[in-house]
Amino acid sequence: MRAPSAVLFDAYGTLFDVHSVAALAESFFAGRGQALSVLWRDKQIEYSRLVTTSDDGAHYQPFSELTRAGLRYACQRLALDLTPEREAQLMAQYLCLTPYPEVREVLDALRARGVATGILSNGDPAMLAPLVHNGGFSGLFDHVISIDAVRRFKTHPDAYRLGPQATGFDAADIAFVSSNGWDALAATWYGFRTLWINRAGLPREAIGPAPERTGSSLRDVLSFF
């Protein structure tokens, strides 16, 4: 197969480590930081699906608000004292998530090949812009695409459709990279060429087709070329 004309990356968990918030959470809630991070992330994704599938998306809220709601729920569930100051600091940390160490290397390699690059994310623009800037990647992506434009979170096809619209390439000419198995599956269904970054060695989803490729690092995207 010919090489893709563009590569789009999921942001949260793929380019940036969502669980890098655990260190700050641990400083607030000793012995519970990792548990909070995991439950927070799970609830964040659950809320994104809930507002997309309920009443044809009539209950949409930006990802930043769902992230805040997920944090509040997780702290209540774990009986943690989430003061306004702690909430503000944890939310601010979501704008400074730690990028995976190979991100810059991979972006430079793709740009050297003349491949268009972008982010296609659930995050709203107010989250993505500082995240990219704080990660040191300003100007390195040709496209930073937020589903906020269509008010449908992934895995809704309207979210993935933003990729071809932004890049001008057909879905079959775009490689979509995600560390989330469900995201890689839905992107495969949509028609993207897909790479699942399976850092944790998880089994693939038990329904649907396998992604075109599976790897353990973002460097594996270079195998398309």
Structure tokens at 155: 């895995």
The single residue of 10, 17, 124, 148 carrying the catalytic annotation is 10
Q: Which residues contact 120 (CB under 8 A, 6 or more apart)?
A: 8, 9, 10, 143, 145, 147, 159, 160, 162, 163, 176
Q: Is the dihedral of CA 97, 139, 102, 165 positive or negative?
A: positive
The C-alpha atoms of residue 132 and residue 95 are separated, in whole angstroms, by 8
**142 part of the active site:** no
Question: Could you tell me how many residues make up the chain?
Answer: 225
Residue 165 in contact with residue 183, Cβ under 8 Å? no
Question: How far is residue 185 from each of residues 23, 59, 152, 220, 225, measured CA to CA in Å?
Answer: 31, 25, 17, 17, 21
Residue 164 in contact with residue 174, Cβ under 8 Å? yes
The C-alpha atoms of residue 123 and residue 128 are separated, in whole angstroms, by 6
The C-alpha atoms of residue 10 and residue 57 are separated, in whole angstroms, by 21
Q: Which residues are catalytic?
A: 10
